[in-house]
Homo-oligomer: A and B are copies of this chain.
Amino acid sequence: MFGARCLVRALRSCSSAPCPRHKPSARLSVRDALGAQNTNGERVKVQGWIRSVRSQKDILFLHINDGSALESLQVVADSSFDSRELAFGSSVEVQGQLVKSPSKKQNVELKAEKIEVVGNCDAKDSGFVHIHTPIITSNDCEGAGELFQVEPSSKIKVPEENFFNVPAFLTVSGQLHLEVMSGAFTQVFTFGPTFRAENSQSRRHLAEFYMVEAEISFVESLQDLMQVMEGLFKTATTIVLSNCPEDVDLCHKFIAPGQKDRLGHMLKNNFVIISYTEAIEILKQSSQNFTFTPEWGVDLYTEHEKYLVKHCGNIPVFVINYPLALKPFYMRDNEDGPQHTVAAVDLLVPGVGELFGGSLREERYHFLEQRLARLGLTEAYQWYLDLRRFGSVPHGGFGMGFERYLQCILGIDNIKDVIPFPRFTHSCVL
């Protein structure tokens, strides 16, 4: 990245050129372009991604970001430059004059003389099919006990008789249903409410919350899965920052000063990857006094998650390969030892802790059969086992807590403040 001094030099040399069109333009980062003090129409070149497009009768406005700053650079172009390829997310190289902006919203803007699309961005290409997984289910995906049961209201219920013939619960995850659909559609996702009857008053838990869950067939490594997860976090955040800058600024200004920089830091760095075993080592070597002593085979607590994120420079951290005994039956056996692990991945983010959870799924019939048998779940999950008998494929997926995601990008401390009608133990207002 150019430093501010370097920038001024570049601009000066540029402005002194007698025939700027034939001289190669100085390449500037968005940050340096935004910070330019003397703008006398120097010719520069900026490379980055389009964050917004506004097309008017005679004029075209683009906002370009390259990750060097949270703000974008405004590019003003003649409408003849307009084309369908100048879409949100496309990468471009813009050459033109850096001038003082007539608007109060920004100091400088780039008057485009040449716009080259480096890489197209057609958002429809991602190819994930949206599935509505059911809310009422006869499964208990996590094997946990924190389920809400559903029955017709006591006024109309016939005692000792189930409406659905079997006990029915509110879903804790759409994963198993997504796995059914991923066997036909390859890449699927769901976005909907999920439920936990957790007796928790914490700032990170709700009884009713939303999850984005995705399931991808023919995925064979956690690396591929983590790439999708990191891409989802960064793309979604870029879109939010681009489409609702006023809303985000309001939170950053009045609720979470400094959050803007923290978020920029997360967006411009590659997320860190460490194994669960490495995480335990880091925690053990720490001088911090934890309430819960870190130990291999025991789950990470919030205090541990927060320490790990800080230790990794306040960049989101993927923790992979957890002990088999800690995770549900459907996660893929790594067949290692003596510390036996599964191909699980959690993403920990600053301020919030666990944001994503995911894994490769156990696609091998005999491995899954043995796990279910050991847990006494063979009969209940016969249909799930059948998915491995007919056209089984390596696959994996993940879920992201939506309210925690909002907490993370807006810097809001209490999860009850990012949902209009929060439901938690002792409270169901309206």
Contacts and interface: CB of A to CB of B under 8 A. Distances in A.
Interface string A390-417: 0000000000000000000000000000
A396 to B, nearest CB: 20
Given A136-B423, A163-B197, 20 more contacts: A55-B84, A82-B83, A132-B193, A133-B421, A134-B208, A135-B193, A136-B208, A136-B428, A139-B430, A145-B155, A146-B152, A148-B152, A148-B163, A149-B150, A149-B157, A153-B197, A156-B197, A164-B427, A164-B428, A177-B421
Interface in A108-162: 131-139, 145-157
A149 B152 contact: yes
A236 B429 CA distance: 34
A426 B84 CA distance: 52
12 contacts: A84-B84, A139-B430, A145-B155, A148-B163, A163-B425, A164-B425, A165-B428, A166-B428, A168-B423, A177-B420, A180-B430, A192-B193
Chain copies in the assembly? 2
Interface string A153-197: 111110000011111111000001100110000000000110101
Given A193-B192, A428-B138, A423 B164 contact: yes
A34 interface: no
A88 interface: no
Contact of A197 (B131, B134, B152, B177): B152
B163 A207 contact: yes
Interface in A82-112: 82-84
Nearest to A243: B124
SS class of chain A's interface: helix, strand, loop or mixed? loop
Most B CB within 10 A of own CB, among A427, A428, A429? A428
A383 interface: yes
Contacts of A49: none
A131 to B, nearest CB: 7
Nearest to A424: B164
A318 interface: no
A84 B87 CA distance: 10
B153 A210 contact: no
Give 4 nearest A-B pairs by CB, closest first: A164-B428, A152-B197, A147-B153, A134-B421
A430 to B, nearest CB: 6
Contacts of A155: 145, 147
Nearest to A196: B152
Contacts of A152: 146-149, 197
Nearest to A166: B428
Contact-residue size bin, chain A (C-beta under 8 Å from the other chain): 35 or more
A165 B210 contact: no
A76 B357 CA distance: 48
A55 B168 CA distance: 49
Nearest to A131: B420
A167 B195 CA distance: 16
Nearest to A425: B163
A207 B138 CA distance: 14
Interface string A333-363: 0000000000000000000000000000000
Contacts of A157: 149
A136 B430 CA distance: 10
Contacts of A180: 420, 430
Nearest to A155: B145
Contacts of A163: 148, 197, 207, 425-426
A134 B416 CA distance: 13
Contacts of A421: 133-134, 137, 177
B192 A192 contact: yes
A153 B171 CA distance: 12
A129 to B, nearest CB: 11
Contact of A164 (B136, B164, B181, B426): B426
Nearest to A53: B84
B84 A134 contact: no
